[in-house]
Amino acid sequence: MAINLATDIKPISYIKTNAADMMKYVNDRRNPIVITQNGEAKAVLIDIQTYQETQDAFALLHLIKLAEKDIENGDFESSEKVFSDLRKEVLKNGWKNYDIYSKCK
């Protein structure tokens, strides 16, 4: 997803006039278009798949940040204890009855 300076930077007037073509361009190539106004970059037009992937990546980074905060606060258990507890519960109740979401805070 590298920006091609010759084709991927367009003034807003061009985007307005060629909106359907620009939508097709970003969706077909999965390349963003930088939209300029008065010669300055003001916005980026991207396809929905790239947008969703970006949002998913940010969500994952947020989860990592929360986990790091828990670790800093000492709010965690060793992997040995977690897997031991999991094994005990699965052996006791069976895998089909195990609800991982009930274990989340």
| Domain boundary assignment for the chain | 1-74, 76-105
Residue 101 has pLDDT above 90, yes or no: no
Residue 6 has pLDDT above 60, yes or no: yes
Q: Token pair for residue 19?
A: 């909106």
pTM (whole model) above 0.85: no
Q: How distant, in Å, are the alpha carbons of 5, 20, 42, 53 from that of 46?
A: 16, 13, 14, 11
User: What does the mean pLDDT of the chain come to?
Assistant: 88
CATH topology of domain 1-74: YefM-like fold (3.40.1620)
pLDDT digits (tens, 9 = 90+) for 53-72: 999 999 999 999 999 999 99
Backbone angles phi, psi at 23, to 5 degrees: -65, -45
- Using DSSP, state whether 17 is helix, strand or coil: helix
Residue 39 has pLDDT above 80, yes or no: yes
Question: What CA dihedral angle connects 100, 102, 103 and 104, to 10 degrees?
Answer: 100
Encoded amino acid at 56, one letter: D
Encoded amino acid at 103, one letter: K
pLDDT of residue 1: 63
